[in-house]
Amino acid sequence: MDMSLANKNIVIAVCGSIAAYKIAHLTRLLVKEKASVQIIMTKEAAEFITPLTLSTLSNNPVLIDYFDPKTGEWNNHVHIGLQADLILVAPATANTIGKLANGICDSLLTAVYLSAKCPVFIAPAMDLDMWKHPSTQNNIRLLQSYGNTIIHPGNGELASGLIGEGRLAEPEEMLHFIEKSFSIDLPLIGRQALVTAGPTHEAIDPVRFIGNHSSGKMGYALAKQLSELGAQVTLISGPTALESPKNVHRISITSAQEMLEAVEQYFIQSDIIVMSAAVADYTPIEVATQKIKKKEDQFAISLKKTTDILATVGNKKTEKQLLIGFALETEHEIENAKSKLIRKNLDLIVLNSMQDKGAGFATDTNKVTVIDRFEHIQEYTLKSKEEVAKDICQLIVDHPILSLN
């Protein structure tokens, strides 16, 4: 694919965070790719890394204020915003994210953002509690609703000493997002995708749970393929030993309730929703606080239904969203899959049959049949789950919902 950055005008907007040191390396990488890099800093950012360092690496003066008293020149925020081919706000602090989300314009950086006509990428960096705070998450959703792309922070040791989500993405990762945005042959560029994968575990006591044999391999393959086609992918995953696909934002959950909450958080801004997780249908009414001892010959657990996540999403989806569900059947496969597609307001349903050797849970292969809402049926042969993911993603790329929006 063609991802040349030569002669592209990249604006990097640097905020006041200890993670600002990573921008030096990112600038080197961009210049090496022959991009033209213009750096804008807040006054606070200049306390963490010097403008001299970044101007030397970028071969351009670093801009901080509207007016430069040394040169007598006016830094025209409208001109900068219109000339940019891409703006990257990194590290994006909670303070600046709040300003961008709510249209507060009190610096050259925020004025350039509001003047931009190009793609805007935002790479947050902050402490775990600040990142998880509802106000920050709401601001992130607002920015995504404006069409901005979020380069999600990574997990690791934070400046506070806490360990968790909040680390600024590595320079190579940010470079990948920038390169991908200029690709001329990635059909899902600018699209937000949400994928669920793996099982859920419903606790009985501190050591036991109700679960299923789902490995998550199909969902992970779909997340990887959607990302490679240009989509920004959020993967909500139940317990699995699989490694996260590269450049995919993974959210790890355990129970059906946790999956529901995560899906509801990310569903609204998603263009493509692929619900491949094997969610438990029932969960214990009461969870023992201590390990249940083996005493009785017979033991009963009272269960209650979990919320039907797929139906919940189907009831909320708009005509601009593409919703794909999965069905694993043991009998009357086509009839049951069609019924599920209609009842849950799906656009496509992917049918797995337990009768097909090599398909189903925990295998490296799968054999699927895809049905759309017009009851068109497309059968595929037994393939690796990576190849099955490519087939399904091709149907996604070609679907009228995406081509019309």
Task: List CB contacts of 403: < 8 A, sequence separation 6 or more.
Answer: none
Which helix (H) or strand (E) segment holds residue 349: the answer is strand 348-353
Please give the structure tokens belonging to residue 356.
């097909």
CA dihedral 301, 305, 307, 312 (to 10 degrees): 160
Instruction: Tell me how far CA of residue 140 lies from CA of 88, 98, 148, 254, in angstroms.
Output: 15, 8, 9, 24
SS3 call for 192: strand
Q: At which residue do the structure tokens 């040169």 appear? A: 71
Q: Tell me which of 155, 212, 336, 345 is the catalytic residue.
A: 212
Please say whether the beta carbons of 197 and 248 come within 8 A: no
Instruction: Tell me how far CA of residue 249 lies from CA of 6, 94, 193, 255, in angstroms.
Output: 28, 19, 10, 19
Report the alpha-carbon distance of residue 272 to residue 243 in Å, rounded: 22
Cite the DSSP H helix spans in 84-229.
Answer: 94-102, 108-115, 128-132, 134-145, 171-181, 217-228
Catalytic residue at 366? no
Please give the structure tokens belonging to residue 336.
């049951």
Please give the structure tokens belonging to residue 154.
């990574």
What are the backbone angles phi and psi of residue 266, rounded to the nearest 5°?
Answer: -105, -5
| Residues taking part in catalysis | 212
